Amino acid sequence: MAPISTPQTPFGRVLTAMVTPFTADGALDLDGAQRLATHLVDAGNDGLVVNGTTGESPTTTDAEKSQLVRAVLEAVGDRAHVVAGIGTNDTHHTLELARAAERDGAHGLLAVTPYYNKPPQEGLYRHFSAIADATELPVMLYDIPGRSGVPIDTETIVRLAEHPRIVANKDAKGDLGRASWAIARSGLAWYSGDDMLNLPLLSVGACGFVSVVGHVVTPELRALLEAHLAGDVQKATEVHQRLLPVFTGMFRTQGVITTKAALALQGLPAGPLRLPLVELSEQETAQLKVDLAAGGVQL
């Protein structure tokens, strides 16, 4: 059965931004990717983002990106939304990746704000519009100024929302006030891209999450979401507070690093990292174990 979507939840509600497993020698581990994707969907994810930052997209080749999309679709594409990260700071290259993702069968596209070259808002508008024009796939914007250097202003989000294929935004801006206005004015489906703010963003109109900690606590994230949707604020708050050590621990350093370490501790596919990312030290791993245990994660 194909994954269910609505205009309010075009990619589902609980998505994990999946790591890209590698073999011991650093090659793409497609079997591991399929096993991890299956585990995550079995745990309660109704969507996965592949080839995002958490998937180490800056250090995977275009061919590897296509292989990964196809492998994950083969494993879980009939049960979950598979969204392909295609964003770069080169519009031409981004369009090539978008068209490749469409050919590979992806259900949607995640387009991050162009990074490093710091375009003005008009440049952002033209960049994202070109992505939406390039394929027939629905697009989720990804607003993360801490990485890109440039926020997508509310006025730009409102303009972009007029495009029929720009349907959602992943919000890692960390500004609830600006999120409130953008949600109200754009009508886009809003996904939290900052795990610590999952519950606060729900309270101002978000529909779900694109999570990193979903690798280890998807059932808890779904419980939080369902409590909120049911109007049980106390239960949602209790779940949020129980997860605080996990939110903290998984972001003491770069999130891919801690996620792969956490997966390895659970015996799940992850493998090494590609430089410039490096593995946790023994001391950092010990601290991660403490943080995860404090949040109820079984290792």
- Residues marked as binding for pyruvate? 54, 210
Residue 185 to residue 95: CA distance in whole angstroms = 28
Q: Which helix (H) or strand (E) covers residue 264, if one does? A: helix 255-265
Active-site residue flag, 118: no
Catalytic residue among 115, 125, 170, 191: 170
| Nearest C-alpha neighbor of 173 from the set 154, 202, 151 | 151
Active-site residue flag, 115: no
SS3 37: helix
Residue 202 to residue 188: CA distance in whole angstroms = 14
What would you report as the CA-atom Rg of the chain, rounded to the nearest whole angstrom?
18
Residue list for the binding site = 54, 210
| Nearest C-alpha neighbor of 18 from the set 7, 248, 3, 60 | 60
Residue 129 to residue 133: CA distance in whole angstroms = 6
CB contact at 8 A, 61 and 88 = no
Catalytic residue among 115, 125, 142, 191: 142
H helix intervals, 47-135? 62-76, 91-104, 121-134
Residues acting as catalytic residues: 142, 170
